[in-house]
Amino acid sequence: MKHPPYHLRPNKAVDRLALIEAIRHLEKIYDISEYTYYSLGGPYLEEFRDLYELYPTLKMISIEEDKETIKRQKFHLPFRTIELKEDKLKSFLTAYEPEGGKSIFWLDYTDMSYANFEDFMYLLAKVPVGSLIKITLRAESKEYFDKNNKVGSGAERFRRRFGAIMPDPSTDPPRKHNEFASLVQGMIQIAAQKALLASGVLAYQPISSFFYSDGTHMLTLTGIVCEKGKEREIRRVFKQWQFANLSWDSPREIAVPFLSVKERLHLCRHLPCKRKAGSTLHKKLGYLIEENKEETEKKLESYAKYYRCYPYFVKAVP
């Protein structure tokens, strides 16, 4: 199976490390030793490696159906404590039993289908209270417009597929990436409400949401399944986190630039910036890193927000 080089994409890496920070805040409410981490780890098992550095005793399970990818996982396996599970995600979720412990799931999809939302809804109703579920979906608005970029059959196809969870099934999907990401987030909110409606006592409290491009546009949202009334405590713990989204506000954009190590070390001397970070960092560099000043300062503004989660990519000789 062909996999994009997610381990070399800085926006994806920021999203990955933001999850690690979310788990560190979760630790202020619940005992992390009670959790099991489940994810579609991919061939390089990147977030498993990051999690192990902080929580070496955390039980971790990677779910993968492709035999060749599992071979690559075995080759890259950083620690023996990670369990590699050969299974389709849907069949794994059907058989999943928490056995008394809480769960952390990352449903890291590369597409967006109604089946993805069904997986999410099924899992919400099944995990123990206190479990954290992160879902990542493809959010590419241009896929739902005709070749001449006009509303037509693509928009109608979108409504047929997702009308049951759209905030307003009569509207067309928006063209702008941020607005389309907000629409997908609203669909996740409705899916969560439908999944937990029958319980009457549970809620899905969002804690963060982002949209970004890693070759295609993506929307990712993280939340905690909790008892109604517990939301206030969760919001209290997470409200000081700079990346928190606790009330289904519009997702934050991650759009960090590609920078050399030398450029990063130079910029670090001027961070954090209290105001006009993009303009300030552009002046400190003294040159454009994108096609124009506007794009350069936009990317540097994003870098100022996420630089602590920005990965280092270095050349190494094995």
- Give me the residues paired with residue 104 across strands: 37, 132
- CA pair distance 266, 247, nearest whole angstrom: 36
Q: Mean pLDDT per 10-residue run, the chain (318 residues)?
A: 56 94 96 96 91 93 96 91 94 92 97 98 97 98 76 83 96 94 98 95 98 94 97 97 97 95 94 92 96 96 94 67
Provide the pLDDT for residue 1.
Answer: 47
Residue ranges in the chain assigned as alpha helix (H): 10-26, 46-54, 67-76, 89-95, 114-124, 153-162, 177-197, 231-238, 261-268, 277-285, 293-306
| Nearest in space to 108 (alpha carbons), one of 67, 155, 158, 48 | 48
The residue type at 255 = A
**Strands 252-254 and 217-227, sheet pairing:** unpaired
For the chain, the first-to-last Cα distance in angstroms comes to 25
Q: Mapped to the 3 state alphabet, what secondary structure does 61-129 carry?
A: EEEECCHHHHHHHHHHCCCCCEEEEECCHHHHHHHCCCCCCEEEEEEECCCCCHHHHHHHHHHHCCCCC
| Nearest in space to 287 (alpha carbons), one of 310, 260, 314 | 260
CATH architecture label of 6-254: 3-Layer(aba) Sandwich (3.40)
Structure letter (DSSP) for residue 289: S
Provide the pLDDT for residue 122.
Answer: 97
Provide the pLDDT for residue 7.
Answer: 47
- CA pair distance 15, 143, nearest whole angstrom: 23
- CA pair distance 113, 33, nearest whole angstrom: 34
Question: Domain residues of the chain, as ranges?
Answer: 6-254, 261-309
